[in-house]
């Protein structure tokens, strides 16, 4: 079962939320994410936040976890911890990209945290899909023509192979200090990515810029 967390990026598109969130998803709203859920006509299962802007009044009958304003973790991170406690197989975070760069970067780092705690995380927006890739074999369908970038994450380099891409690689070590991983292209109906050593962040661009 999938948990969807709606965060509070100002770039969040409520129409996109309506398209992505399915009836059987368990939905957590992280503070200002309540506003976007309301616009999209989505009623969350759980609402989390310090509610300094009082968005909890939008869903007065929902289960609510109220946080103190001054805390070590973000509302999104607290939402992730609650999702992990409920043992969801996948945690999709929407409304996590755009706005302040430091918030977006922190949300990318959360993907590694989700993996460390035994689940699979993904950041989704109408523009991008971002995944954390530890050592393993990965297959991607239906992205032909889309661009992607891959970067080492939490390590000096990542050893990677690509097939079905414009710029294939074969067990190549991509360093964290170079830009080699930027702007590759899916050229096949089935693209494979293999990570042999290290961890990576994969960014798939869903629309042409």
d(CA 152, CA 134): 10
Half-sphere exposure of 110 (CA within 13 A, CB side): 29
Which domains, and CATH codes, for the chain?
A: 2-126 (3.40.50.10240), 133-205 (2.60.120.320)
pTM of the predicted structure, to 2 decimals: 0.92
Q: What is the pLDDT along the chain (209 residues), one digit of tens a residue?
A: 899 999 988 889 999 999 999 999 999 999 889 999 999 999 999 999 877 655 556 677 788 888 877 677 788 999 999 999 999 999 999 999 988 899 999 999 999 999 999 999 999 999 999 999 999 999 999 999 999 999 999 999 999 999 999 999 999 999 999 999 999 999 999 999 999 999 999 999 998 76
């Amino acid at each position: 079962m999938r948990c969807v967390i709606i965060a509070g990026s100002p770039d969040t598109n409520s129409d996109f939320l309506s398209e992505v969130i399915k009836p059987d998803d368990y939905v957590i709203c992280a503070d200002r994410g309540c506003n976007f859920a309301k616009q999209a006509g989505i009623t969350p299962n759980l609402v989390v936040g310090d509610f300094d802007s009082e968005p909890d009044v939008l869903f007065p009958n929902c289960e609510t976890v109220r946080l103190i304003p001054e805390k070590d973790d973000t509302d999104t991170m607290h939402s992730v911890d609650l999702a992990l406690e409920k043992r969801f197989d996948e945690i999709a975070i929407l409304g996590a990209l755009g706005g302040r760069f430091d918030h977006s970067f922190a949300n990318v780092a959360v993907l590694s945290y989700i993996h460390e705690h035994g689940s699979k995380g993904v950041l989704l927006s109408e523009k991008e899909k971002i995944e954390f890739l530890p050592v393993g074999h990965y297959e991607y369908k239906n992205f032909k023509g889309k661009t992607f970038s891959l970067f080492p994450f939490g390590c000096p380099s990542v050893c990677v192979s690509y097939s079905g891409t414009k710029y294939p690689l074969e067990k190549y070590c991509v360093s964290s200090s170079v830009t080699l991983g930027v702007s590759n292209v899916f050229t096949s109906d089935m693209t494979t990515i293999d990570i042999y050593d290290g961890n990576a962040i994969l960014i798939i661009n869903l629309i042409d810029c």
